[in-house]
Every structure is written in structure tokens, then in C-alpha cells.
Amino acid sequence: MNDELTLAVTLVQTGQYEEGLQKLKALLAKSDDEIAFQIASLYEEWGMVDEAYKILSRLAQKHQGDSHILLSLAESAIDLNREDEAVEWLLKIHPLDENYLSAQVLLADLYQAQGFEEAAHRHLMLAKKQAPNEPIIDFALAEFYFSFGYYGKAEDKYKAVLHAESLAHENIPLKLAECLSLNGKFEEALIYYKKGLEREKTPDGLFGLAVTAMRIEKYQTAIRALTELKAMDPDYSTLYPVLAEAYEKEKAYEEALSVLEDGLKVDEQNERLLLMAGDLAVKMNQQEKAEWFYERLLEWNPEHTEALKKLLTLKKEAGKTAEIIQRLTQDEADDPEILWYLAEAYRAEEELEKALSIFSSIKDYFRGDPDFLESYGQTLWELGQRELSLEVFEQALEIDGTNETLRDFVERIRQENFG
């Protein structure tokens, strides 16, 4: 490297940016093309992509067909989100050029990113034809097949380059493991996850191992992987529901709930965690805690119908009918299932006219539900509408003839009223 260039780079690297960049600018004005190319590479490395692109464009005009310049220009164009220009530069590289393979791989990446599957595949196959035994091409094909969901083909290509020295910087076992897992080969995937993680412990690798282990009910394996991931990166929020599920499968409910609570410290608005925590608290007979989780979820998302129904069920079981009425009249519910809760609450509070009004408004929605019909019929009966209530009771018995209590009641009132 030129002495002046070395000095300028040293100044930048030691924090003396303005002075270093000024020296580079002065050097560029008097330098030859080789130094100019080096300066462009430095600008690219430092994020000064516009400056790099200007230099490289000028060099490309003087050295037409120079593949090193064209490749660098394409990479700069990509960084500047000028993909069409990048394609133009890459297409200028001759098939007999030493950088032709690299150009085809980069072209494939560009087309792949734009969703042009056929064009991406065509350029990779051109490269494969020219260099049939080149690992980087097989690896690029593996990445291509994986990205478009051709997991069987991707698996074959990853296995073909598994021991390629030129790809030692890539963790092929982890990539292969993910591919195998997505292809449903969970046992084999675990083998490669473990090999890949021996090479490098990554959060995504640990998570992938855990999810794969869950698919074949190896819950302890999942717990170990996710516990390690949690220690490595507690902000990796997607670990918490999976780890909690693994503990729950092992019937370690306290540990599962503790994990969910830890996850909510990381992401307090995580609806999945709140719902799981509520469900788990119900399973542990901790109704008050379950209500608290469902309430928090509904604070973040008032439209979460599933959480609302679970909350209403708990309140109904606990006899908190006044709270049900307050919540649902305040929210102006219109979902028939939610309105059924409100009707039952009014009935429990002996506000029968209000209960009947709601039952009547949603009866068509539940005409095939014997429990609804029984409740509806009882409300009619209590309000003195005996003949209509009897019709409703009989409809319920037609659907569920095993309700002996209701059958006995219907037969008794028939005898009493119709003799």
C-alpha cells in the first residue's frame, strides 16, 4: 500500500476522520488507477458508498471489461439500492473471465431477492455448467433451493459441500440441519444441529435445535438448548413460549409459568406469552392470576376475542356476573358467543327482560346448541312464556336426548299444564 494511503487509513482508524479523509481526497486527485481502486474499496468498507461508486464508474469507463471493477461497481450499486444498474454491470463480465462465476452467483442473488426464481436459477446453472465441481456454486444452489422451499434439492447440495475447505467460513451443518428439519427429517436434523453448534454456538442454531427436538417430543433436549439460549441472549423473545411449552409437556408447571413471566419482562406486550400464561394459570387452578394475564392481554389488544372468552368463562365460574355485565356493556359487544355470556350474566342477576332480549337476538346463531336452548327456555319459563319455553326445551331434547333432568321437567310441566 502506498505510504500516503497507509497514513490516511491510519488516521481514519485512529479516530482522526477529517484529517484522514482529506488526505485520501488529495491523494485521489493525483493517484493512478490502482490507488484509486484501493480508495474506492476503502470508501465502500467505511460506508461511503456514493463516493466509491463515483470512483468506480470513472474507472469502468477507462478500463472497460475489467471484471474486478465491474464486480465492485455491482456491489456498490446493490448497497445503493440500484439493483438494475448492478445487473447491467454484472452482465458485462465475459464468460471466459476469471470473475464470471462470481458474477453469476451475484446475479442469481439479485434475481432471487427480487423474486425472479427462473432467472436466478438460470444464472446459477450457467455457472454450474462452466464449473461443475466448484463448491461455491453448489453452495449457492443450496441457498437458492432453500430460499424457495425446495428442501430436498437443498439438502443434496448442502451435503455435497459439507466438507469443502473453501466453505470453511460457512456453518454448513447448521444450514443442513435447518433444511432437514423443514423437510421433516427431525432425527437427522438433530445430528447436524449438534455438529453445527459444536463449531459455533449461535442463538438461531440453539433455537432451531430446540424447535426440532419439540417435534419429536425430546422435551429435555429442547429445555437444555433454550436454557442455554436464554443465558446467551435473554432478549431472544421467541425462545420463551417454546421453553414454557417444553416445561409444560414435562408437567413442570411452575417452571413453565416462571419462563413466561421472564418472557413478559422482555416483551410485556407479547400476546402469545400472555395467553399462554393465562391458560397455564388456569391449569394450575390459579384463577385470579389467570384473570390478570387475560386482562393485560386485553389492555394491549381489546379485539382479542379468544382472551375475552377465556376471561368471561373464569368470571362466570367465579360468579362475577356483575363484572361481566360491566365489561360487556362498556365494550358494546356484538359477537354472538360474547353476547351469550352477557345474557347468562343478566339472568344470574335476575334481570330477565334484558337476558331474554339478548337470547332472542342470537337464537338463530345457536339453534343447534342444546345448552343455549335450555338457558333460553328457562328464561322464557321464568318470564311466564310457558308454551314458547316448552317448544324451546323440546328443540333442545331433539338435539340431546340424554338430558334426563330436562326431559323429566318437560314431562312434568306437560302433565301439569296439558293434563
Mean pLDDT of the chain: 92
Q: Is residue 356 part of a domain?
A: yes
Q: For position 180, what pLDDT does the model report? A: 97
Q: For position 285, what pLDDT does the model report? A: 96
Q: Is residue 56 part of a domain?
A: no
Would you say the pTM of this structure is higher than 0.85?
no
Q: For position 324, what pLDDT does the model report? A: 95
**Per-residue buried b or exposed e for 371-394, using 16+ beta carbons within 10 Å of the residue's own CB:** ebbbbbbbbbbeeeeeeebbebbe
Q: Max CA-CA distance within the chain?
A: 117
Where does residue 40 rank: exposed (0-12), middle (13-18), buried (19+ CB within 10 A)?
buried
Contact predicate 63/69, CB 8 Å:
yes
Contact predicate 176/159, CB 8 Å:
yes
Domain that holds residue 414: 328-419
Q: Is residue 418 part of a domain?
A: yes
Q: Is residue 233 part of a domain?
A: no
Closest CA relative to residue 108, chosen from 148, 166, 161: 148
Q: Is residue 395 part of a domain?
A: yes
Report which listed range, 43-57, 218-232, 383-397, is most confident.
Answer: 218-232
User: Mutual orientation of helices 33-45 and 17-30 as an angle, nearest 10°?
Assistant: 150
Q: Is residue 357 part of a domain?
A: yes
Quick one: what percent of the chain has pLDDT higher than 70? 99
Q: For position 27, what pLDDT does the model report? A: 87
Q: Is residue 364 part of a domain?
A: yes
pLDDT at 111 over 90: no
pLDDT at 419 over 60: no
Closest CA relative to residue 337, chosen from 368, 302, 372, 303: 372
Q: Is residue 402 part of a domain?
A: yes
Element at 138 (helix H, strand E) = helix 135-147
Taking only the tens place, the pLDDT of each residue in 144-201 is 999 889 999 999 999 999 999 989 999 999 999 999 999 999 999 999 999 999 999 9
pLDDT classification of 92: cutoffs 50, 70, 90: confident
Q: For position 1, what pLDDT does the model report? A: 57
Residue 222's alpha-carbon distances to 13, 238, 244, 359, in angstroms, are 44, 13, 10, 48
Q: Is the dihedral of CA 252, 258, 262, 263 positive or negative?
A: positive
Give the mean model confidence (pLDDT) for residues 331-344. 89
Q: What is the DSSP string of 17-73?
A: HHHHHHHHHHHHHH--HHHHHHHHHHHHHTT-HHHHHHHHHHHHHHSTT-HHHHHHH
Q: For position 247, what pLDDT does the model report? A: 98
C-alpha cell, 87 = 445487473
Question: Count of alpha carbons within 13 Å of 202, Cβ hemisphere only?
Answer: 13
Q: For position 418, what pLDDT does the model report? A: 57
What is the rounded CA–CA span in Å between residue 373 and residue 87?
68
What is the rounded CA–CA span in Å between residue 208 and residue 226?
10
The number of folded domains in the chain is 1
CATH of residue 358's domain is 1.25.40.10
How many residues in the chain? 419
Q: For position 193, what pLDDT does the model report? A: 97
pLDDT at 274 over 70: yes
Residue type at 9 in one-letter notation? V
